[in-house]
Amino acid sequence: MGVGAAVNVLAESPAIQSPELVTPEPVIPENDTEAPSDTPAPAPTDVPVEFTSALTKADLYANTMHMSKAGLYDQLTSEYGEQFSAEAGQYAVDNVKTDWNRNALEKAKEYQDLMAMSPNAIRDQLVSEYGEQFTAEEADYALANLNS
C-alpha cells in the first residue's frame, strides 16, 4: 500500500474523523423563565378554613331556610348547632350574600300558608327572640309585602 492509499484509509476511518462541536442549550430554572409582570399576583387568602366553612353553612341556612341574621349567628355558634367560634360565625353573617327582607317575607309566607297565623301573630313570631329574630324593619317589610 502506498502513502496515498494510507492517507485515504485514515481519512475514511470513522475513528479519525474530527467530532462536530455541539454547544449545549443553557438550562434556565423554571422560576426564572418569566419576566416580572405589571399585573400584581392575586393576594393569598388570609381567611381561616373555619371561617370559610362557617360561610358555606351560612349560605345554606340563609338562602334555603330563610333565617334572620341573628338566628343565623345563633345557629352557627350554638353548642346545639354548628359550634363554630364566635369569630367564624360573625365572619359568615357579615359575608353571606342574602336579602334579609326577602328571608323575612319567605318566613312570613310559611307562617301564613302552613299555620294560618294572623298578621299580628306572624309579626310577633318574626321578631321574637325565641322565634325567628328578624329586625322590626324586616318584619314590617314582610307584612307589607305578604299578599303581593
Task: Please give the C-alpha separations between residue 40 and each of 32, 36, 130, in angstroms, as whole numbers.
Answer: 17, 9, 49
> Residue 85 belongs to what H/E stretch?
none
pLDDT digit string, tens, across residues 61-90? 999 999 999 999 999 999 999 999 999 999
Task: Please give the C-alpha separations between residue 16 and each of 1, 22, 51, 102, in angstroms, as whole numbers.
Answer: 19, 18, 74, 90
pLDDT digit string, tens, across residues 6-52? 444 444 545 545 445 555 555 554 554 444 445 444 444 688 999 99
Res. 93: pLDDT tops 50: yes
* pTM beyond 0.95: no
Q: Are 108 and 146 in contact (CB under 8 A)?
A: yes
**Domains of the chain, each with CATH number or no CATH:** 46-98 (1.10.10.10), 99-148 (1.10.10.10)
Q: What are phi and psi of 140, to 5 degrees?
A: -60, -40
pLDDT for 141: 98
- Establish how many alpha carbons lie within 13 A of residue 33's alpha carbon, considering only the half-sphere containing its beta carbon: 6
Q: Which of 141, 49, 58, 43 minimizes the C-alpha distance to 94?
A: 58
- Helices (runs of H) and strands (runs of E) counted in the chain: 7, 0
The three three-digit cell numbers of residue 140, written as one number: 314590617
User: Based on the number of CB atoms within 10 Å of its own CB, is 33 exposed (0-12), middle (13-18) or buried (19 or more)?
Assistant: exposed
- Higher pLDDT: 19 or 116? It is 116
Residues across the chain? 148
